[in-house]
Chains A and B, each alone.
Chain A
């Protein structure tokens, strides 16, 4: 367990002090900036709409996949590219400890970034008269679980992608902004194959306003829509599958051959 803690702490340090956090911070600052910019000029009655729109539009569609691309994709592959993985795998620790530790570090940073952004957005919107309407649709508590589970699902999946593929960046971007953007918004059963759909369902079921928003987005058309619990289970399942693939692949790979010289 000491090895897990050591690698976790070191990875956390790398993520927090690395330059990639600037990209995630930009995405995190986006909803806060938009709220600060448009909040004062929009009618007070629109407060719920602003809140849900920013959660659905920025957090779900942008921040979660971007956080996973920035952090989770490179957890293993960055070490491979730098050539530093050797120092981790030639120590007397099982290889899975490296994967688990790095995954935990991602979860810690992603959770912190999402919660900070969410609290920041909430705080900015609370300055507006009539902001109590946000609490009527559950406030932070209603959307945070879905967002965090979304971050977990994307993180697990992209950890797996980053471990299995030699060029994980392409696969990650095409999945996050191609596959998810396309399938997640097409009415019908194909959207069951996207992560974003389950996150939207969870948020929609937790907030009345969200449900209305979902109807506008052709998400909640009533037939065969999974429950919030089922959606949460799917998201956790995706996470576990991603981590399992990462551990399996990491244990088998011969990284001395992978480094781009």
Chain B
């Protein structure tokens, strides 16, 4: 009688490297989230400010044509670079931040909280995944959506401004703008993603986390604006999450510094760095495969 070994045989095929294992979490999370029509709707809505400002840019370009006829193409390019310069793109930033906050509340608040509620962490950590892989994977999900709400409208708006120009003069004057816009998008998306993940790791109910995140965002703005409004001391705006994002964006874009931001942008950058790294560290600490149940 032939006897065959029926015992355990380990899979000895090739496995993907550890370095990209987080990508599986991100890819799966993004795909899952995009099945939600509400999120797709939000991502589309986040492009509305860009569309509105495109019309404004178009109006300014009409005026540019008249300047070109009267004063020449070079003068028009200079005037366009002023009109459609850093201050113009800065108008987009607060609206981008608003949509990032909404998208983070919707798509980010549940990222860790839902895993904790459904005990999916046990499944994650019964695989060869580290907590860092998990963190980067989850961060990648919300970062992707946040970037969609920031870098896409920014660059599209810039593209509109460039394409509609009659000459290449505007492009020569503003060629660094796309890089600055990308940097602003990265700062906004990174900070918001890290903080919302931190909130998500603190709770196990999506709705509660979302309320906490929204509360944190708007309460901090209220605090900053009221303190500045009453004292006229610009340094107080450093307590506002959005205010810090705006302050750094102004510095990166080279926009005009408004009165409430009349202090070094480094302070705001420092606040954002603390919030970002603090948030990510908090997630690392909070994420455990097994949790004690009361």
Number of interface residues of A (CB under 8 A): 40
Interface status of B170 (Cβ within 8 A of chain A) = no
Query: Would A66 and B105 count as touching, CB distance under 8 A?
Result: no
Residues of B within 8 A of A173 (CB): 101-102, 105, 214
Scan residues 211-256 of chain B and give those whose CB is less than 8 A from a CB of chain A. 211-212, 214-215, 218-219, 222-223, 225-227, 229-231
Closest chain A CB from B86 CB (angstroms):
23
- When C-beta atoms are compared, the residue in chain A nearest to B98 turns out to be A178
Query: Would A57 and B226 count as touching, CB distance under 8 A?
Result: yes
In this complex, which of B98, B211, B212, B225 has the most chain A Cβ atoms within 10 angstroms of its Cβ?
B211
Using A38-B231, A42-B230, A167-B106 as known contacts, say yes or no to A69 and B211 having CB atoms under 8 A apart: yes
Query: Would A20 and B211 count as touching, CB distance under 8 A?
Result: yes
Closest chain A CB from B143 CB (angstroms):
20
- When C-beta atoms are compared, the residue in chain B nearest to A31 turns out to be B226
Roughly how many angstroms separate A42 CA and B227 CA in the complex, as a whole number? 11
- When C-beta atoms are compared, the residue in chain A nearest to B110 turns out to be A260
Stretch at the interface among B76-84, B145-153, B202-210, B273-281: B202-210
Closest chain A CB from B70 CB (angstroms):
33
Residues of B within 8 A of A177 (CB): 98, 214, 218
Closest chain B CB from A210 CB (angstroms):
15
Within 8 Å by CB of B231, from A42, A61, A74, A77, lies A42
Interface status of B60 (Cβ within 8 A of chain A) = no
Contact with B along A3-39 (1 / 0, CB 8 A): 0000000000000001110111011001101100110
Roughly how many angstroms separate A18 CA and B206 CA in the complex, as a whole number? 14
Within 8 Å by CB of A54, from B98, B203, B218, B226, lies B226
Interface status of B42 (Cβ within 8 A of chain A) = yes
Interface status of A58 (Cβ within 8 A of chain B) = yes
Interface status of A153 (Cβ within 8 A of chain B) = no
How many contacts A-B (CB < 8 Å)?
92
Closest chain B CB from A140 CB (angstroms):
19
Query: Would A26 and B230 count as touching, CB distance under 8 A?
Result: no
Interface status of A114 (Cβ within 8 A of chain B) = no
- Write the residues of chain A forming the contact surface with B, with a CB cutoff of 8 angstroms: 18-20, 22-24, 26-27, 30-31, 33-34, 37-38, 41-42, 46, 49-50, 53-54, 57-58, 61-62, 66, 69-70, 74, 77-78, 81, 166-167, 169-170, 173-174, 177-178
Q: Which 5 A-B pairs have the closest CB atoms?
A: A23-B215, A62-B222, A167-B38, A70-B211, A38-B230
- Write the residues of chain B forming the contact surface with A, with a CB cutoff of 8 angstroms: 38, 42, 45, 98, 101-102, 105-106, 203, 205-208, 210-212, 214-215, 218-219, 222-223, 225-227, 229-231
- Give 27 A-B contacts (CB < 8 Å), ordered by A residue: A23-B212, A23-B219, A26-B215, A27-B218, A30-B219, A30-B222, A30-B226, A38-B227, A38-B230, A42-B231, A46-B230, A57-B222, A57-B226, A57-B229, A58-B226, A62-B222, A66-B218, A66-B219, A70-B215, A81-B205, A81-B206, A81-B207, A167-B38, A170-B102, A173-B102, A173-B214, A174-B102
